[in-house]
Amino acid sequence: MTPFPGFTSSETFTQVPDSFIQMMNEVEDVAELKVTLYAIWRIEHMEGNFRGLGEGDFDAAALGLDVKEIRRGLSKAVERQTLLKSEKEANVFYFLNSPRGRLSADAFAKGQVKPSSSSYVPNKSNLFKLYEENIGALTPLLADMLKEAEQNYPSAWFEEAIEIAVSRNIRNWKYVEAILARWKENGKDERRDSQDSVQDAKRYTDGEFSEFFKRD
């Protein structure tokens, strides 16, 4: 067994429903467990109105399963109803049995939505998730601004800068960006603890960047 090097602060994390964790002891087939967790992970990284997976979307190499095992796992997940199977003509897709998944499965079966090959985002930005979880919903303009920021600043800085914004209850991207710009211009002492950073942040609201700051 190859030792796992550990999780990092820059990677994305996938939410797993509490109810699934509570029922895991009932899942005896490893194929069912793998395809269910894979579906939860991949659907979490999809954007757009259509969030369903075809059989071919389950990566055999990543799962360590062959096609027969994937089909068996899907069949058992559908039987347990953690996944929903929806068909339209010759097309078959699998959806999570969640409120949104049930609506999507029904809409697909009725021909109201169609699968989109561009809806899957395998490397969804961690900055996007940090923003959504701590500041608010993304708009197309904000998404473009975040993408540009990812090119200009080290990824390790974003979490701390957003933490400062949240601690001061200034949930505003311009505020976060001003902190990042100051760190880039003057250097960032990685040895400072979070309390020092929070105190230091006051300078950003009262100084040259004050025009950008609006308490939402």
The pLDDT score that the predictor gives to residue 154 is 86
pLDDT tens digits for 48-82? 778 899 998 898 988 999 999 999 999 999 999 99
Q: What is the pLDDT of residues 75-125, one digit of tens each?
A: 999 999 999 999 998 889 999 999 989 999 999 999 988 876 544 444 456
Residue 194: band (very low, low, confident or very high) from pLDDT cuts 50, 70, 90: very low
Topology of 18-109 in CATH? Arc Repressor Mutant, subunit A (1.10.10)
In three state form, how does the secondary structure of the chain look?
CCCCCCCCCCCCCCCCCHHHHHHHHHCCCHHHHHHHHHHHHHHHCECCCCCCECHHHCCHHHHCCCHHHHHHHHHHHHHHCCEEEEEECCEEEEEECCHHHHHHHHHHHCCCCCCCCCCECCCCCHHHHHHHHHCCCCCHHHHHHHHHHHHHCCHHHHHHHHHHHHHCCCCCHHHHHHHHHHHHHHCCCCCCCHHHHHHHHHHHHHCCCHHHCCCC
pLDDT digits (tens, 9 = 90+) for 24-46: 999 999 999 999 999 999 888 77
pLDDT for 4-18, tens place per residue?
Answer: 888 876 677 788 889
Domain chopping of the chain, boundaries? 18-109, 126-212
- pLDDT for 191 beyond 60: no
